[in-house]
Structure 1
Amino acid sequence: MRVPVLLLILLFAGKSLAQEPVRYGPDWESLSSRPFPKWFREAKLGIFIHWGVYSVPAWSGPEQYAEWFLRGLQVGDQPRLDFMHRVYGPDFQYRDFADKFRAELFDPEDWAALFRASGARYVVLTAKHHDGFCLWPSEQAPNWNAYDVGPKRDLVGDLSTAVREAGLRMGLYYSLPEWNHPLYRWGQPNSNNDVNQYVREHMIPQFQSLMSRYRPAVVFSDGDWDHPATTWRSAELLAWLYNDSGCPKDVVVNERWGAGCTVGFPTPEYSAGIQPGARPWVECRGLGRSFGWNRNEKLEAYMTRKELVHFLCRAVSHGGGLLLNVGPAGDGRIPLLQQDRLVGLGEWLAINGEAIYATEAWPPYGTWRDVEVERIDPTLDFDWVRNSPAKGISPDHFEAEWNGFFQAPADGLFGFRMEADDHAELYLDGEAWKAGQSRRMSKGERVPVRLLFREKTHQASVRLYLAQAFQKEVPVPASCWFQDAAGKHPGLKARYRSKQQHLAFTQTDDAVYAICLEWPDRGFSVPWPQPTPDFEVGLVGSEHRFPFLWEDGRLWIETADFPWNQLPGPHAWCFKLPKPPDQGR
């Protein structure tokens, strides 16, 4: 059979036009038209890795980020300075850590196997953090990269290969500014800074070289907040990334490209999450309080397996995901406690993954209960940063109350000053304390004190300072606080309150999942239209079908007769309900 030549030409031309890739312009309107890739919306869980020369000292305050060690030295953070001098000597410089960053026990295949076992679908490695040290042989950072000094190997390349061979997608984190680059020393306004020259001559060539060489599926930008997106030339960079970098066509980026940026997935850190919106979002946090490994953290700072599962469920029920950080040591080992948490999360997802992967939020997202924690605090000097003040309390939208007695350390006139993020009120002897007020007291005299605190979002801190005539203002010493008027029991009675989600909802095209973060001994209810005659309530990982009652728009699911020894795993349980026929996603 002969096909006319003109018809063949038209067919091939049409095929060519159909395959012509979309090109995006260097403007936010064009870039915002690019959809989020399906794989990313469905992934829900990624592994973040903060690893670099800061993994050698691996030290900061218990509530601080260890990867900010250099910045602490620059701004005169006394605990970091003292640690540096005590452990490494007075002449040791931050750059000297590069030779000690050996990664001699780094096994990229072991890392990739662990990440796959965790249930993660993608990995993001800090190719360059704010200290400017690069984990690949960057031409723009000679003798300040892992190929020239320290490990003497291409860490980005080795891990990228292993991660992809494990069936996961590989992503890279890149800090736009650097704390100590000669062209632009971020955060040092008195330096001879030229951010435009830095962007033009250093940042853009380095970024493009990194992207073209490793072609990541996720690009996580950071450090943008001191300048708008126009200064970082972000729209230009992203248009190049999408059009000409050689990265996968379904590459995805976050939103940290400077003020004015309207693209990318939001990335709250150590928060209670954000409300569902048009863009998928990802909560970023470590297993403890820091991203980089911090040897100064206590065991209680780490999430348990149960807390980790709950955190993921809450994020996904609000339309988000979790980018869970591990902080390896300088020798390349991932600490065993971190490995244990990843394995535990993977075991739970192996049973319950259908309620997490490829799901969306289902209004009303969940149900909440009041949570209260009581304890004795030694003093009023707290900087929780972005963290929860107590186990079970939300890191955002919580309240605290302290009651006790202040004992005057000497005769004299005393004043108090509060610092709080977000809001605090002080009452002395039942009266509201006002700024500039003072009170004369005798040594050993005790007066009742009450302090109320409310936290909204992000940073949380509260401190009460004591001022005495002709003396430097200091935080009220612990020796001045007592629980009782007799002064027999030191400290303050503290009460923390917040809401805590105990039931989370997700949905697919044909099912709604009610994820119980506590096993309901008798049962639980969900808002629901009248069930159809063939309606069934199942439990993921079990063949059991649960009896139910429906009345006035509420579905009561009965669990009292379900045997405990048949629970499909620990931590959280996913009940599966057929979606009502009139409800789409």
Structure 2
Amino acid sequence: MKPRCFGRFTLLLRVGVVAAWAVTGLAVTRAAEVAPDALAAQTREQRDARMAWWRDARFGMFIHWNVSSVPAGVYHGKHNAFAGEWLMHDEKIPVPEYRQYAAHFNPTQYDADAWVRVARDAGMKYIVITAKHHDGFAMYHTDISTWGIRDAGPFKRDPIAELAAACQKHGLKLGLYYSQAQDWNHPGGATPGGKWDKAQAGNFDKYLREIAVPQVREILTKYGPVAVLWFDSPYEMNRERANLFLPLLELQPGILFNNRLGGEYAGDFETPEQGLPENAAADRDWEVCMTMNDTWGYKSTDHHWKSAETLIRHLVDIASQGGNYLLNIGPTPEGLMPAASVERLAAVGRWMNTNSAAIYGTSASPFSKLPWGRCTKKVDASGARLYLHIFEWPAKGDLLLPGLKGTVEAAYLLADPAQKPIPFSANSAGVVLALPTSAPDALLPVVVVRITGQLEVTP
């Protein structure tokens, strides 16, 4: 059995923390929708305008990268069973000892432009990178602490500045992840399960005032447009503490933030982790974050890679329920994306080159579960387009669209530039497409069905 990946939610459950955002199965329990005055005053139209690019994008890259990539999940010869970036916590590494890893963190092969091109060519529209994870190490040039990439090690470049420039160059949105509560290196930072080093002792509110809040101000003012602020692990974050961060959002007009700030703030979108929600909330935006293997940060022993076909199916499954897919990469201490990650993203990109119209700007399927695959849709004033993602090609060629009552104008393979018509017929059960007997795409073929007038599907 593969080692289970313990992410941010599952570790908190493991140590018995109960929070408003705890995981229930594969879904996230909704935080109470109690917005601050500025957010409460926002109209639905204003919110929809702010969320429009994110809803259209559907696909983004998550990057977990920091000094934890140096030990890469191994401590004194022991291979940590869980995620690589949690090594300090899981092995209870003393603060002075963990800080020694920074001297060996010298990612001279880091090429932000190449990273962004990998994301762009895979069809991703935005990138979220760890500005600071739970070990407190700043992956940017901070003036608030010396525990960061500029002052604690030999690498003097600013990775976030370089990535921000590359994102602007290639037209991707930039998001920044910041662990606002958990911090295992700065005195007073939250440490789930208790502190293990006297160097961690301190006042949590002092830590928030002197480290977390000033650093969030830094990352929102140093790097140009920031589209998403991705908070995480709101351990000990009550309402009063969460309110310290809300005014900072005004530094980036239009910025989105997730549901992990704390204080029962729901944020702009929910964040189910490492699994697809069984019943996605129709009235809430959501984004599944998921690893390609079993870890977020780089772990030298983790070779449990998902196949390109699995990644594409996850993307389709999530889009068919109206969500976004934030797919993670954990770069090496040298600054390279693991070859297995790059290879799989290239395969996803080849599929997206042909089929991206079935992902970008789509909304959730009008059907309940389909035995043969998934459906995404686009609706406009003239009618609708259904995109049928066929996981299991029918052996006899007949594909039923159950309960479809709208007027079908045409059906064709999305990969076919000639749009050769696929025959169809209607009966009491719905509409039946007469597909070719063999699938045209080895990974995941897509059929387009054009509907004239109102789209209607009966249960």
What TM-score does the superposition give when structure 1 sets the normalisation length?
Answer: 0.65
Q: Which runs of 5 or more residues in structure 2 are unaligned?
A: 1-34
Deviation per CA, 1:383-427, whole angstroms, max 9, x where unpaired?
xxxxxxxxxxxxxxxxxxxxxxxxxxxxxxxxxxxxxxxxxxxxx
The yes-or-no answer on 1:507 pairing with 2:383 is no
Query: 2:447: which partner in 1?
Result: 575
Structure label with greater radius of gyration: 1
1:184 paired residue number: 189
Change (3 A) 1:102 1:31: farther
Asked if structure 2 preserves the Cα contact closer than 8 Å seen for 1:63 and 1:289, the reply is: no
Residues 319 and 360 in structure 1, CA contact (< 8 A), matched pair in contact too: yes
Match of 2:245 in 1: 237
- Structure in which a larger fraction of residues adopt strand: 1
Q: Secondary structure at the match of 2:259?
A: coil
Q: Does 1:224 align with 2:228?
A: no
Q: Relative contact order (alpha carbons < 8 A, sep ≥ 6): 1 or 2 greater?
A: 2
Distance 1:216 1:552, change over 3 A: same
- For 1:333, give the aligned amino acid: L
Distance 1:32 1:131 in 2: 38
* Structural mapping, 1:212-291, within 5 Å: 212-214=221-223, 215-233=225-243, 236-241=244-249, 243=250, 245=251, 247=252, 249-273=253-277, 274-291=279-296
From the superposition, tell whether residues 169 and 302 of structure 1 become closer, same or farther in structure 2 (CA, over 3 Å). Answer: same
Aligned equivalent of 1:163: 167
CA 1:142–1:201 in 2, change beyond 3 Å: closer, same or farther?
Answer: same
Higher deviation after alignment, 112-121 or 551-560? 551-560
CA RMSD of aligned residues (A): 2.5
8 Å Cα contact 1:506-1:513 kept in structure 2: yes
Residues 46-65 of structure 1 aligned to structure 2 (within 5 Å): 46-59=60-73, 64-65=82-83
1:229, 1:342 → 2: CA distance?
40
Letter in 1 for 2:393: W
Q: Distance in 1 between matches of 2:179 and 2:373?
A: 37
Structure 1: distance between partners of 2:323 and 2:190: 34
- Within 2, Cα distance between the matches of 1:165 and 1:205? 28
After TM superposition, give the deviation of residue 100 of structure 1 in Å. 0.8
Contact 1:317 1:365 in 2 (8 A): no
Task: Please say if 1:39 is aligned against 2:53.
Answer: yes
Q: Which runs of 5+ in 1 are unaligned?
A: 1-23, 77-90, 369-501
> Counterparts of 2:316 and 2:80 in 1: how far apart (Å)?
26
User: How far 1:183 moved relative to its partner?
Assistant: 2.8
Letter in 1 for 2:101: F
What residue is the counterpart of 1:551 in the other structure? 427
1:165-202 Cα shifts (integer Å, max 9, x gaps): 11111111000021221133423646644222221222
Instruction: Give yes or no for the alignment of 1:340 onto 2:354.
Output: no
Name the CA shift for 1:72/1:305 in 2 (closer, same or farther; >3 Å): same
What percentage of residue pairs aligned between the two structures are identical? 26
Q: Give 1:287's aligned amino acid.
A: M
Aligned residues: 402
User: Paired residue for 1:73?
Assistant: 91
Q: Does 1:355 align with 2:363?
A: no
Counterpart of 1:518?
A: 392
What is the CA distance between 1:289 and its match in structure 2? 0.8
Return closer, same or farther for 1:520/1:146 CA change in 2, 3 Å cut-off.
farther
Alpha-carbon distance in structure 2 between the residues aligned to 1:556 and 1:346:
31
Could you tell me how far apart the structure 2 residues matched to 1:73 and 1:140 are? 27
Q: TM-score, normalised by structure 2?
A: 0.81
Give a deviation string over 1:465-499, Cα, whole Å, max 9, x none.
xxxxxxxxxxxxxxxxxxxxxxxxxxxxxxxxxxx
Q: Which whole-Å CA distance do the structure 1 matches of 2:256 and 2:180 have between them?
A: 17
Letter in 2 for 1:573: P
Name the SS for the 1:160 alignment partner. Answer: helix
Shift of 1:31: 6.5
Residues 31, 228 of structure 1: CA spacing in aligned structure 2 closer, same or farther, 3 A cutoff? Answer: farther
Secondary structure of 2:364's match? strand
Query: Are the counterparts in 1 of residues 145 and 211 from structure 2 also a CA contact under 8 Å?
Result: no
**Residues 1:538 and 2:409 are matched in the alignment:** no
